[in-house]
Structure 1
Amino acid sequence: MEEDYFSIDAILAENQKVGCRFKVDIPDMGHLGGGGERNITRSNTLQLPIWMVYTVVLSDWADMIMPPAFGSKVRNALNAEPCSVRLANLVGAGGLWYGFGKTIMEMLDDKKEMSDLLTTTFRKRLVEVIDQAQYFAALGPAGGVGPSSDSSQSFREGLDGTERELFALAQEGSKRMKRWYEEGEKARR
């Protein structure tokens, strides 16, 4: 992620922990696992920050274990109904699921499957994000009340950090458009 060197989102995404299964013994590095072990032994599994996993995996000392946020259960749920999955709950640090996925994808030999997952999920959820943003912008500062607003609130709480930014931009754009239209209506009278 060298092009994202100064991006806070990239830093948070790279701080996520990922499981690694070691292939070799590494003396005097047991402290990386956070336990009392002195050495890392072959077949040990440790949770390491993704920025450290780069070195460990690329040095061929360990294999990365696919994080649960991109496992088959999540993939199946996203394929069935992408808007029902609360991406914010899948990863910590502000729910940066797409950023974390991009970081994981860079370490995979076959990037196409992960790329397709991220792209398809984003495209399918984007329509709902924009729709919800416009709906809430039209309601004004009071917001909605009732069962539909509860499901909308639940959807918004499950948004990834990138989706939350797009939601805010779309909502602001919709409010500005409404103001512009209303000012034009007043001028025509």
Structure 2
Amino acid sequence: MSSYYDIDAILTDAQKVLCTFELTVPGLGYIDGNEGGDMKQGTKVELPLWLGEMLAVSQNISSSPLITLDLPTALAPRVLNALKADPRTVDLRALAPHFYALSARMLELFEDDELVEVLTETFKARSASIADQAHNPRGALGDGADFLRGLDENERQLFRAAHDSSKAVKAWMADLKKG
């Protein structure tokens, strides 16, 4: 569980997810651009994850949810197929800046073994490339700059940690040779 003040958690919760209203809600049409109108049953709107989750898990008098959540476009079948084909070529940051955090939140709401498998294999394959780029002295320059642009926030933190540790080991080795 993340901290209340964790900016990454706040930004993850703010990402939009597609929701379908299961009931007509009077006076809520302004969310869909229908000021003063009702939100009709079956209407699909994008809501921030935090709001969509609250409405999806809350129950009304008939004990059915007010809305149903769909997986976000960052986890659409075409994206999963691209990740299965070659996860290193997918620009995760363009899909969602906090891709893995969003995926983890969605997996709390949906049970999807295939999604877990794809995300696990994606992270394994991409982390090997990240480690390689982090240990390359030209990693953040030239070709490495395009690589860094496609990393989500978790991957960027992993890159920084690997890069800083590589630098620290080199400095330590240099100190050993001096001493």
Match of 1:61 in 2: 66
Partners of 2:36 and 2:118 lie apart in 1 by 38
Partners of 1:14 and 1:185 lie apart in 2 by 49
Match of 2:177 in 1: 185
1:118 CA displacement: 2.2
Partners of 1:5 and 1:182 lie apart in 2 by 39
State the superposition RMSD in angstroms. Answer: 1.8
1:111 CA displacement: 3.5
**1:88 to 2:93 alignment:** yes
1:114 CA displacement: 2.6
Which shifted more, 153-162 or 54-63? 54-63
Match of 2:135 in 1: 134
| Aligned partners of 1:83 and 1:155 also within 8 Å | no
**Percent same amino acid among aligned pairs?**
31
Partners of 2:38 and 2:3 lie apart in 1 by 32
Which shifted more, 27-36 or 37-46? 27-36
Match of 1:4 in 2: 2
1:84 CA displacement: 0.6
Decide whether aligned partners of structure 1 residues 34 and 160 sit closer, same or farther in structure 2, where only a CA change above 3 A counts. same
Alignment of 1:100-119 (within 5 A): 100-108=102-110, 110-119=111-120
Matched residue count: 172
| Aligned partners of 2:53 and 2:69 also within 8 Å | no
Which shifted more, 48-57 or 158-167? 48-57
| Aligned partners of 2:131 and 2:159 also within 8 Å | yes
Alignment of 1:34-49 (within 5 A): 34-36=33-35, 38-49=37-48
1:65 CA displacement: 2.1
Partners of 2:172 and 2:136 lie apart in 1 by 17
Decide whether aligned partners of structure 1 residues 37 and 69 sit closer, same or farther in structure 2, where only a CA change above 3 A counts. farther
1:176 CA displacement: 0.9
| Aligned partners of 1:33 and 1:48 also within 8 Å | no
1:170 to 162, 167, 170: 162
1:171 CA displacement: 0.5
| Aligned partners of 1:16 and 1:50 also within 8 Å | yes
Structure 2: unaligned runs, 5 residues or longer: 60-64
TM-score using structure 1 length? 0.84
| Aligned partners of 2:18 and 2:47 also within 8 Å | yes
Match of 1:157 in 2: 149
In structure 1, what residue type is equivalent to 2:54?
A: T
1:115 CA displacement: 2.3
Q: Which structure has the highest helix share of the two?
A: 1
Partners of 1:37 and 1:99 lie apart in 2 by 36
Structure 1: unaligned runs, 5 residues or longer: none
Partners of 2:122 and 2:149 lie apart in 1 by 17
TM-score using structure 2 length? 0.88
Q: Which portions of structure 1, spanning 4 or more consecutive aligned residues, are displaced by more than 6 angstroms? A: none
Partners of 1:37 and 1:133 lie apart in 2 by 54
| Aligned partners of 1:20 and 1:65 also within 8 Å | yes
